[in-house]
Amino acid sequence: MDKFKVLIGSRQAPDIEAMLSEVPDSVEVRFLPHGEPLREHIADIEILFGHIGEEAMQAATALRWAHQPHAGVEGFMYDAFKDSDVRLTNCRGLYGRQIAEHAFALLLSLTRQIPTQLEFMKTKHWERLPCIELAGMTMGILGLGGIGKAIATRARAFEFEVIAADVEPIDKPDTVSELFSLNALMDFLAKAHILVVCCPITPETHKLLSHAQFNQMPDASYVVNISRGKVIDEDALLAAIRSGKLAGAGLDVTYTEPCPPESPLWEQPNVILTSHSAGASQHIRRRAMQLFIDNLHRYVAGEPLVNLVDKQKGY
């Protein structure tokens, strides 16, 4: 019987690669040689752990399943892949804890003026600064997937009123007091003193937040984006910050990444930029590989895969 041929798209740490000893006996695991193009090694591969671009996709005649070892899948949303019968899975559900922690790190850094205090330390300057108390405010979570739900859970501990909006018709969890559809986005934004952006980038969410949306928010609100930079119209965000409509923004993602040196975002005193690092965790690579191995057992057994992506929706 021919083996299921699996290609790991990049070398992993030795302890992560050692986990692959747990794959079924009917599986043959290969690694893409460092620096070599995927298209030259994909022809007989049935299962790919990693990303595949349009050029390599033309050679992937045996491919039946691709696993994205991250949560975002926009890099797969080109016609040749979307229209193929290749199944796509991702690592959604593995990032909620650390991204929620990062979201609150950004928010608290803004409201407690931590960047300014760190600047004071450089000159041993002692000065009390005005700070914002968050308890009692309303946090609006845009996108109530695994990350949004993790943020909602933690927001309750901060004594926020928590509301959420989602493109899908989902059940309202107990951690959320009110759930809005995307059709009621403006009503949702009108209540959000803190807006946390947790939704994926799709044609529907591209520049979803622009001038009208920021103007709808309460005065002196905060925006935290830990999902995708292209959800926000950055010109509109900058206008809202400069006018004082928004009190600040914490951005782990930007419209263009890396954020260009000429971007005005770098120079705004009430903006904190981090380098798309919210998903970082000492545990994430092990969790991602374990999810893939568990799914590999399901694939070999002919069972449904978990974390299957709807390629037409883009998530």
CB within 8 Å of 21: residues ≥ 6 apart: none
pLDDT at 214: 98
Asked if the model's pLDDT at residue 1 lies above 80, the reply is no
Q: What is the mean pLDDT of residues 96-101?
A: 98
% pLDDT > 70, the chain:
100
285 in catalytic set: no
Look at residue 192 in the predicted model and tell me its pLDDT: 98
DSSP letter, residue 115:
H
Counting every residue written for the chain, the total comes to 315
**Domain ranges across the chain:** 4-93+282-301, 96-273
Strands of 51-101, DSSP E: 65-67, 87-89
pLDDT at residue 4 greater than cutoff 80: yes
Calculate mean pLDDT across residues 97-112.
98
* Spatial separation of the C-alpha atoms in residues 138 and 132, rounded to whole Å: 14
- pLDDT of 3: 94
Which one is catalytic: 22, 257, 283, 303?
257
> Which is the catalytic residue, given 97, 156, 211, 276?
276
List the structure tokens of 109: 């850094």
Domain 4-93+282-301 has CATH 3.40.50.720: yes
Mean pLDDT taken over the chain: 97
Among residues 67, 154, 193, 228, the one annotated as catalytic is 228
What is the pLDDT averaged over residues 219-226?
98
pLDDT above 90 (res 295): yes
54-79, pLDDT tens digit by residue? 999 999 999 999 999 999 999 999 99
Mean pLDDT of 256-265: 98
- Check whether 184 has a pLDDT greater than 80: yes
Say if domain 96-273 classifies as CATH 3.40.50.720.
Answer: yes
Residue 173 has pLDDT above 80, yes or no: yes
- Looking at residue 6, its pLDDT comes to 98
For position 92, what pLDDT does the model report?
95
Going 278 to 281 to 285 to 286, the CA torsion angle's sign is: negative
My answer on whether omega of the bond before 258 falls inside 30° of 0, hence cis, is yes
For the question of residue 276 being annotated catalytic, the response is yes
pLDDT confidence bin for 180, thresholds 50/70/90: very high
Residue 2's pLDDT is 87
Query: Is residue 267 annotated as a catalytic residue, yes or no?
Result: no
Q: Return the H-helix or E-strand segment holding 80.
A: helix 79-82
